[in-house]
Amino acid sequence: MNTVQKSIAIGMISVGVGCATATLPPDQLASTQASIRAAQEVGAEGVPKADLQLRLAKEGVAQAHKLAEDGDEELGKMQLDRAKADAELAVAMARQATAQKTLDELTSKNSVAVAAPAAAAATAAPATTPAAAPTVATAATPKPAAPAVATTAAPKPAAAPKPATPPAQQTAAPAAPAGH
């Protein structure tokens, strides 16, 4: 091979290597990794559906790196966007699960707290007092509110306007023929 051919071959290899070393935008990569850390910090790994999204996010970052190394920076960027969305979804799912768990605990504690005083009042009240029984039942089990029912009727159609009567017809009765 002569020198010119070697130079062209080296130049082509350099161009090929240059394309293969495309990098992902550092700010986009950092943002995606921060979302993954946030999902881990809120406990996404302990919530099955959130854990799945977290794993998808981690795999997405790895795929984005591979795409960039293979020279497809645009697909790598798109994969980073998807990975960030997966991580943010994991955060939301973990927070929702935590909120639901807290709500369930509070509801459970509240029903125990309401039932305990009602049971104590029922045992303390004499069985012959008729007014005590309804009060205890009302306190232990609140009655649901009656559903709202729309009572408005459809508006009545407006009456058609009456045609105006000419003034001569309003005041005079039909005239009798003269001389007949």
**Tens digits of residue pLDDT in 87-146:** 999 999 999 999 999 999 999 888 766 666 666 655 655 555 555 445 544 444 555 555
Which range has highest mean pLDDT (5-19, 96-110, 156-170)? 96-110
Could you tell me which of 121, 30, 44, 138 has the C-alpha nearest to residue 87?
Answer: 44
Residue 116: per-residue pLDDT: 60
Across 159-175, average pLDDT: 56
Instruction: In whole angstroms, give the CA distance from residue 140 to residue 109.
Output: 14
Residues 6+ apart with CB under 8 A from 164: none
Which amino acid type is present at position 63? Q
C-alpha distance from residue 155 to each of 124, 149, 150, 162 (Å): 57, 17, 14, 20
Residue labelled with tokens 């999902």: 39
Comparing CA positions, the residue from 95, 90, 100 lying closest to residue 51 is: 90
Q: Look up residue 46 and give its DSSP letter.
A: G
* Whether CATH 1.20.1270 fits 18-124: yes
Sequence ranges of the domains in the chain: 18-124
Residues 6+ apart with CB under 8 A from 153: none
